[in-house]
Amino acid sequence: MDISYDLLIQGGTVMDGSGAAAFVADVALRQGKVVEISRAPLPTERAARVLPAQGLWVTPGFIDIHTHYDAEVLMAPGLPESVRHGVTTAFIGSCSISMIYTAAEDASDIFTRVESIPREYVLPTLQKDKTWTDAAGYIAKLESLPLGPNICSYMGHSDLRTAVMGLGRAVDPKARPSEAEMQAMERHLDEGISQGLLGMSGMTNPWDKVDGERYRSSALPSVYARWSEYRRLHKLLRRRGAILQSAPNLNNPVNAVFYLFSSASLGLRKTLKTTLITLMDVKAKPGLDRLVALGTNFFNRRLGANFRWQALPQPFQVYADGIDFIIFEEFPAGEAALHLKHDFDRNKLFADPAYRSQFKAEYRRKWGGKVWHRDFSDAHVIACPEPGLVGKSVQQIAAERGQHEVDTFLDLIIDHGRALRWSTVIANHRPERMASNLREPCSLVGFSDAGAHLRNMAFYNFGLAMLQQSLLPRPTLSPEKAVWRLSGEIADWYEIDAGRLRVGAQADLVVLDPEALRRAKLDAYAEASFEVMGGMQRMVNRNDGIIKVTVINGHIAFEDDKPHPELGRAPGFGRFLRRKPGLGTASALA
């Protein structure tokens, strides 16, 4: 008999991404497509390869809606750390930062500091490879790469502003785009949407800073836009049915209300699909997530909004080497330290009594914008040249030394610099609150930030964390609905051709062991060498034995905890996915 299937997945428990009840079936793939899903056994002799899946789950590949892979996809397009954990589609261009229109140095400077990625690797890559100057050219570049997962992209507002106004004027608080410049931004955005981009990403939080020497420590260009500028771009997005992604101003979170009103139709206009970061139970602001969810659900149900907060299905644990982390951009003393590039200058600042007094005052401040709880009793040393300090909190060390905890923290940095590695949990520390947010109809599961903050956090395995929630003694969601939240729900909302396991669909799927997942410790610490960035050690996740295979475009991209030798080296795996308005379908579970 002629070979009819490239791969036959035999006897797995299929969850198709719709939220419908699971069923046992054979799944057959050919030429990158799902060609049969049969509850009756399919003939194994027709398959080039048979993969037994009895007792395993077969699901659509996971969709990661929030990454900053913009640089990494150019340097190592296989993106194996996400593929390893079942991600088959990833979104880039988030938070106003895309690499479409701006010149190489500008693109690097609005990207590297805020995303904590070494400029010394990103800038040369862009200087060497960036030949495109518009959305069509950028997409052509992505399509020429040997992608691992599928890629979708936003157009970044900071990218648009910088390309049209120049970076200097784009970060000048007094500068405003001329009418001709506004029209140019609108034209570029409109062209990008026509090319298949998801829409536009913005940023209003002033903590995110520009890198480089020319405009160092300015906020991202999108932050300097007035609401009149946003309104014009939002109007275009609304007219085109495209999506807005952004972040509220955390110094003044009330501006999230303006986003809610922008999304709402109010019975007078088209709804603007809007998604913001992020719905989490933040230690610094207990109860805010409940208020946010209640308000958002009201706007969605009563005022014609279509608004989703991105939610992370695991504790938001972060790590820092000394003071190198974005949370210190929240207050002026931290900003002053991160503005300085050299340890000598930083240490001189840290030793200054006036600076220490300022740091203490801002550390004690209870009100105002903040994400870090600023509690050194909840900041534990995990690595240090003084072994006796490992495992202790900064506050505990301060008590032993008879010091204020800020003095102890700054002394430790003077003594050890980046060799002082410490950790804290900023949000999602209460399982019941996290579970509630994951059930919210106004949330979308994602916000991994993959490809960014390489030394600070790792949530590549967010999909496994979500599915593990369905296996708890008191599950957050059923397995079928958890799969839907990771795949079909997202694909429908964004209107992309992904997220479903059905005949005729591109064969992007995952086979995983639910019993191994049930037992797994998903927050275990791990690092790996990142060769394309000089062998630096970046944080990763290692949950071997759970994912049996990740299949992208019908090709096994990951198997037995190893990437395929051709992943990121040869075409045939991922592709650029264009948004197709009207493609999404309403789910019975929505």
- The answer to whether 376 and 394 are in contact (CB under 8 A) is yes
Three-state secondary-structure class, residue 538: strand
Kindly give the parts of the chain with pLDDT less than 70.
1-2, 584-590
Q: How far is CA 244 from the centre of its chain?
A: 15
The predicted pLDDT at position 255 comes to: 87
- The answer to whether 6 and 553 are in contact (CB under 8 A) is no
Three-state secondary-structure class, residue 123: helix
Kindly report the pTM of this predicted structure: 0.96
The predicted pLDDT at position 588 comes to: 34
The predicted pLDDT at position 316 comes to: 97
E strand segments, 278-418: 306-311, 316-321, 380-383
- CA–CA gap between residue 107 and residue 109 (Å, rounded): 6
Q: Which helix (H) or strand (E) holds 152?
A: strand 150-153
Backbone φ and ψ of 411, nearest 5°: -65, -40
The predicted pLDDT at position 582 comes to: 86
417: left (phi over 0), alpha (psi -120 to 50) or beta: left
- The answer to whether 555 and 546 are in contact (CB under 8 A) is no
Torsion of CA 470, 471, 475, 476, to 10 degrees: -30
In the DSSP assignment, the letter for residue 419 is G
The predicted pLDDT at position 268 comes to: 94
- CA–CA gap between residue 51 and residue 549 (Å, rounded): 9
The predicted pLDDT at position 2 comes to: 67
The predicted pLDDT at position 590 comes to: 37
Query: Shortest CA distance to 146 belongs to which of 579, 563, 535?
Result: 563
Q: What are the angstrom distances between the C-alpha of 523 and each of 312, 507, 563? A: 13, 30, 22
Three-state secondary-structure class, residue 498: coil
Q: Which helix (H) or strand (E) holds 323?
A: none
Domains contained in the chain, CATH given:
62-317+428-563 (3.20.20.140), 324-423 (no CATH)
The predicted pLDDT at position 585 comes to: 52
Neighbours of 366 (CB within 10 A): 7
The predicted pLDDT at position 258 comes to: 93
Three-state secondary-structure class, residue 40: coil
The predicted pLDDT at position 254 comes to: 80
The predicted pLDDT at position 589 comes to: 37
